[in-house]
Structure 1
């Protein structure tokens, strides 16, 4: 029997609305229909933008204390309903119930961080008298909201990535229009419910469900939208940048994350962290470990330890407490990753473990001897596949790690502080994790990448900066 979830209406400027045309939401585990949501059209986006312009005025006038109260109350709502939120995440997406509980807790934390950072929307005084002849002047700057923020989120973290858009936007005093992924809209709608129950004034928030081809261009091209915050693929990000016109852009566009294993590393720690980093959320994580560079002196020892860790991973039913990895978001994506693996093998690569697909499920897959020109080496796999590479030195590892058009995060395992510092300086990425995998993030840290991995930084305090502007105020003193 299908499990029915709340989420049949979308939120337009604080009002729950239905539409005749529907998007069906399926459980990727068994292709079971679990709910439907409205399929918005361009006219719905136009309506939402017009109301958001009014909402921006309401939001900017909302006191810092009122913003904090709303965000903290919404966080409490999530915490009181953690099982409902986690079940929604697990059913509509790829995460296991344990991964979904972790995401739910993080979403509540993200909203609380947003509340705390709202109180730190500070400016500072400027010494105008530093310039000769300006001794009779003084000034300061403060931060003001950008206005209407368009937020577009992917399927892989359907609650916490939404919280990373909505929390900072509200904290900064903006109106926000969210378009969640069509595959996973239910978690976003539940977060909207939490915010509305917390007393967020109407017109500030829209969560509009629809297909990108129907509503995407209208949203990103509108001159009444002052900023776009997008998390997703590089190709889509480039299309948005071309269409957006003169407005602020913040983009997190994925990665092809490297991890370096030095010969002095704690190999058991490294194997455990790398396995978790490669296969959590079925590898559908922008920080997922994809390329592991191991110094040749410890290559075989690390490989054996890593394969033992991977062998213990249990693939199965997402709601089972004992499951470590669920399916990909749909069979189409599983077939894509399977084809990349087959291409790698045809080019000389070897499958050490996994590689077998059944429906949307793909076994945790480990490869070696894959040539650099293979698609799975150059592009973001976004699936449960990882490659091992033997290197002679740290310099070689860094050079090969940098040899892709991505640079989000990287990891290095070493007992040598000089190696850690060298990697931190030379790796072309937005973050370097020492004695941890690339798949590490806390919600307070700056988060973003270089090259094809995006523009700007998320992480609550840094997203608030992106979603606000400085305004200088100068005084000429007169008698």
Structure 2
């Protein structure tokens, strides 16, 4: 369960005299000397190779890339091409020996002609390099290895690796494998993470998760009990700490397991572990005092630092681990000192898991001085630093070796462990990485000694409170995203439990009330404009603070009326806060022009994001100086009313922001039809946008509409990660996000892979389906009764389609559907081309990447698109061809965050100029900007080019995360049609100049030469090669607008400006490109882990 741990306890007094550190240093030196004496020539060569990798980041990067990528595709040609691509990216430097460099160069050349032969040899070499680190679980290899280790007096702690545990079927298989190991007479000790035996860990439902974990844990403990075998609970992610400890304690508290000795891991890089260790010890002492068995705590430094840093960065949290390695080392030694006190070892045995000879020596000294040798065990990793292991075993008298095992068929799934070990072996400052050059008295040895002594002195001053409890560390001035709720913390659960849901029924507005609302909004325009941008920004920031203060009340309402899962509701509230603060920061009037608000803006949001999306539209329009009328979706009217109250409470005058819930269709149409509504912001279906345009052709409509979004999965992808991201993208909020992945376009090798299909089905079938009132629910009811499209998608199969997972409707709730996955969706079929907006995913088979991209682009929409591939050449090719506003690489395709991923689509997914919500140009949509004074065209030439070079022709990443690239860029429009009612040579010249600067084709039509009717008749043909129709002096005739709308052209009405920063936004399309920039926390293109310190 989540735990807000208490303040750190008073530091304990040292257990021994002050000579401990000096004795440990002396013993460590002795252990090093002995290990050097017994090192074999083969081990010397291995240490030399490690040393070369440490000294050559390029060599380390190349090794990690090959390890990660050469087991992805089963096709030799694809793998060979990917291998050559890696060798082109990273030079083969002196980090490899002469023969290795020669083999790499010759192999790369030969792979063009003999790919199968060469790649078989390369893969065999990599497997051989890993065979001592990851043991084969196949027979007779495992039996022989266990027998050999037992003869050497080494006990093995086996950790069964395998496929990623994406669903309950795989979790059951992993549990069965562990039970089989425990039934073997030659196995006495196993380790397992809770995430390996339960796939649906859900921090917002800790009690449900805890009960499921306890059920599986009982099975393992029962298997271990008869022969007193040992089950150790591993720890990896910070999120698992409280759950693991709670499950461990609660199951062992049951009478059935009172006589069972079992253990768990505590990671010293977590400040929390110090307090948890002391709490566990106090509990174990009571257990032993009442006749129970001792427990064991295995103390490790922690091997998930990079991924903890990634998670914290993505969520704007403080990283859970200590700030630096020095604090981690100090925490480790503090925990070790506490563990070795005699009164503690009576209840808790200790495992000291480290390859650092100073830490091992310290443990040996402490246990000897305290006469607790039987309670303190040294643990090391299989296949790592073998000479040191032998020296330690000889001195300690015994040794426990942590040994991962994997079936040959699952070797590719063990790559994450292998890469972590490679990184650990070669990270600067790491003891293992220094072993190749360590000798008693050497400079490197003295540096390690000083680090040890410094951390020992610091041990009682190291932080011992959870870092997540603290407020996020200051990031300086400017905009920063609001952190999501951290569900590892009890206070957030309590706040949600105590949140009161607003039950106020919002007032309805008939046609008369709508008329009065429009009049009141118009009457307040001048005063709101006169308030000025600085005052409006101040109010928006206050609104952001108000929404933050009522976060959990908003979540509660989104769950109740919006039927959202807690995690989905939480991120929506964060987005609303971000909109307020971001537009306050970036929405100032543009320089060098006169900015005039449009007037009164009507905001018509959808029901699927009923809080964040209307908030963004409202505050964006307000920042530009407009008065606003918020018309919520009828299915989420209470949420809209609650939002309005929060904004009023934040300081927005009620005469500036009006709320109108139409009582019927006529009242709703009156809001759109009336000329007093100067603009409408719509988020909804494309058909709704077209209906608005038919009602009122001259309406300034800014619409984000539908999406038929696809995630492409290449044969060179990490398919386990791809499956996880595809399921999350398809079924988050029951598939009711406009950005949801409705299609998975799989390269043939992936589509045909039965393992991938099984993983995908397992992951989807394991999602908790239930009401939003259940915190454990992931797939919740759809908001509306399924329409014709969605019902067809959920209940019918077209030609050659079949269910990989057939959706089912709940007997209790006709709106609650389980996930569905279709196989065999054909190119051009109904499901390929139609948006369905519900929990159903279609899978398509593409022969290669070119066909996959063609399938992705063939739909009418272009909202979000994604690809999973580890090959840079494929990614580059995809980015240059795919047609969508938001691109995602090696991650899910939903969850856009303000500023990081400004959101908005291309093609039929967007109507209007196309500036993205949450982006730098959004507020300017709601202003009319004119030059302060007419300037010469030559001045515009200079300003256009300057703006193009400095802003439009480069990518922007203002968030600048280390783990993820978020590039905001501009793409030239397909073409602009300039329609001039009167001759306007200046506008023509500026338009030609803008077209030349951006590379956008320009077509000019003069009303004096081409009648409105003739021009309208020509528009369908012009629309084939153009995106925008531009006017500069007000709307053209309705016949022109009707024809342009029907043809799918986006209308922009704005005077031409000499300001390049302003004008060129109308000649380009915005695009957000998000790419995961790490593998297991290691930065792509580099060798250092994110969060690593030296």
Provide TM-score, normalisation by structure 1.
0.84
Q: Select which of 386, 395, 412 maps to 2:867.
A: 412
In structure 1, what is the equivalent of residue 846 of structure 2?
391
In structure 2, what is the equivalent of residue 468 of structure 1?
927
In structure 2, what is the equivalent of residue 121 of structure 1?
589
In structure 2, what is the equivalent of residue 18 of structure 1?
none
The 5 Å alignment of 1:266-415 reads: 266-299=718-751, 300=753, 301-330=755-784, 332-333=785-786, 337-343=790-796, 345-358=797-810, 359-372=814-827, 374-415=829-870
Distance 1:35 1:194 in 2: 14
- 1:121 Cα shift? 2.4
Distance 2:764 2:856 in 1: 23
- 1:225 Cα shift? 1.7
In structure 2, what is the equivalent of residue 130 of structure 1?
none
In structure 1, what is the equivalent of residue 917 of structure 2?
459
Distance 1:383 1:475, change over 3 A: closer
- 1:187 Cα shift? 1.5
Distance 1:59 1:398, change over 3 A: same
The SS at the match of 2:578 is helix
Contact in 1 for aligned 2:563/2:771 (Cα 8 Å)? no
Q: Select which of 153, 161, 178 maps to 2:613.
A: 161
Distance 1:267 1:475 in 2: 58
Distance 1:60 1:203, change over 3 A: same
In structure 2, what is the equivalent of residue 106 of structure 1?
575
- Tell me the alpha carbon deviations over residues 162-185 of structure 1, each in whole angstroms, 9 at most, x when there is no partner: 111111111111111111100001
In structure 2, what is the equivalent of residue 220 of structure 1?
672
* Structure 2 gap segments, 5+ residues each: 1-502, 936-1094
- 1:61 Cα shift? 1.0
Greater mean alpha carbon deviation, residues 243-252 or residues 105-114 = 243-252
Distance 1:172 1:388 in 2: 44
Distance 2:932 2:504 in 1: 52
The 5 Å alignment of 1:37-76 reads: 37-76=506-545
Distance 1:56 1:458 in 2: 25
The 5 Å alignment of 1:167-246 reads: 167-211=619-663, 213-246=665-698
**How many residues are paired up?**
425
Tell me which structure has the larger Cα radius of gyration: 2
Distance 1:211 1:296 in 2: 52
In structure 2, what is the equivalent of residue 27 of structure 1?
none
Distance 2:732 2:862 in 1: 20
Contact in 2 for aligned 1:68/1:116 (Cα 8 Å)? yes
Greater mean alpha carbon deviation, residues 371-380 or residues 99-108 = 371-380
Distance 1:475 1:239 in 2: 39
Greater mean alpha carbon deviation, residues 197-206 or residues 226-235 = 197-206
Greater mean alpha carbon deviation, residues 255-264 or residues 295-304 = 295-304
Contact in 1 for aligned 2:726/2:741 (Cα 8 Å)? yes
The SS at the match of 1:264 is coil
- 1:238 Cα shift? 0.6
Distance 1:425 1:440 in 2: 23
Contact in 1 for aligned 2:867/2:890 (Cα 8 Å)? yes
Contact in 2 for aligned 1:338/1:357 (Cα 8 Å)? no
In structure 1, what is the equivalent of residue 330 of structure 2?
none
Distance 2:830 2:728 in 1: 23
Contact in 1 for aligned 2:827/2:844 (Cα 8 Å)? no
- Tell me the alpha carbon deviations over residues 61-93 of structure 1, each in whole angstroms, 9 at most, x when there is no partner: 112222122111111111111111111111111
- 1:214 Cα shift? 2.7
The SS at the match of 1:110 is helix
The SS at the match of 2:675 is coil
Distance 1:396 1:374, change over 3 A: closer
Higher share in strand? 1
Contact in 2 for aligned 1:97/1:320 (Cα 8 Å)? no
- 1:395 Cα shift? 0.6
Contact in 1 for aligned 2:717/2:869 (Cα 8 Å)? yes
Distance 1:231 1:475 in 2: 37
In structure 1, what is the equivalent of residue 877 of structure 2?
422
- Tell me the alpha carbon deviations over residues 367-417 of structure 1, each in whole angstroms, 9 at most, x when there is no partner: 111334543322111000001111111110011111211111100111122
- Tell me the alpha carbon deviations over residues 40-65 of structure 1, each in whole angstroms, 9 at most, x when there is no partner: 22222211111111122122111222
Contact in 2 for aligned 1:252/1:449 (Cα 8 Å)? yes
- 1:350 Cα shift? 0.9
Greater mean alpha carbon deviation, residues 192-201 or residues 405-414 = 192-201
Distance 2:809 2:504 in 1: 26
Distance 1:349 1:63, change over 3 A: same
Distance 2:762 2:647 in 1: 44
Distance 1:64 1:268 in 2: 49
In structure 2, what is the equivalent of residue 264 of structure 1?
716
Over aligned residue pairs, what C-alpha RMSD do you find?
2.0
Contact in 1 for aligned 2:594/2:930 (Cα 8 Å)? yes
Provide TM-score, normalisation by structure 2.
0.38
* Structure 1 gap segments, 5+ residues each: 1-33, 125-140
- 1:341 Cα shift? 3.1
In structure 1, what is the equivalent of residue 265 of structure 2?
none
- Tell me the alpha carbon deviations over residues 112-165 of structure 1, each in whole angstroms, 9 at most, x when there is no partner: 1121123x32223xxxxxxxxxxxxxxxx1332111111111100010001111
Distance 2:711 2:934 in 1: 53
Greater mean alpha carbon deviation, residues 437-446 or residues 185-194 = 437-446
Contact in 2 for aligned 1:38/1:210 (Cα 8 Å)? no
In structure 2, what is the equivalent of residue 252 of structure 1?
704
Contact in 2 for aligned 1:368/1:388 (Cα 8 Å)? yes
- 1:316 Cα shift? 1.0
Distance 1:160 1:471 in 2: 31
Contact in 2 for aligned 1:145/1:173 (Cα 8 Å)? yes
- 1:260 Cα shift? 0.4
Contact in 1 for aligned 2:793/2:840 (Cα 8 Å)? no
Higher share in helix? 2
- Structure of higher RCO (CA pairs closer than 8 Å, 6+ residues apart): 1
Contact in 2 for aligned 1:95/1:326 (Cα 8 Å)? yes
- 1:335 Cα shift? 7.4
Distance 1:202 1:454 in 2: 31
- Tell me the alpha carbon deviations over residues 278-297 of structure 1, each in whole angstroms, 9 at most, x when there is no partner: 11111101000001111112
Distance 1:159 1:463 in 2: 18
The SS at the match of 1:333 is coil
Contact in 1 for aligned 2:597/2:626 (Cα 8 Å)? yes
Matched, 1:446 2:902: yes
In structure 1, what is the equivalent of residue 437 of structure 2?
none
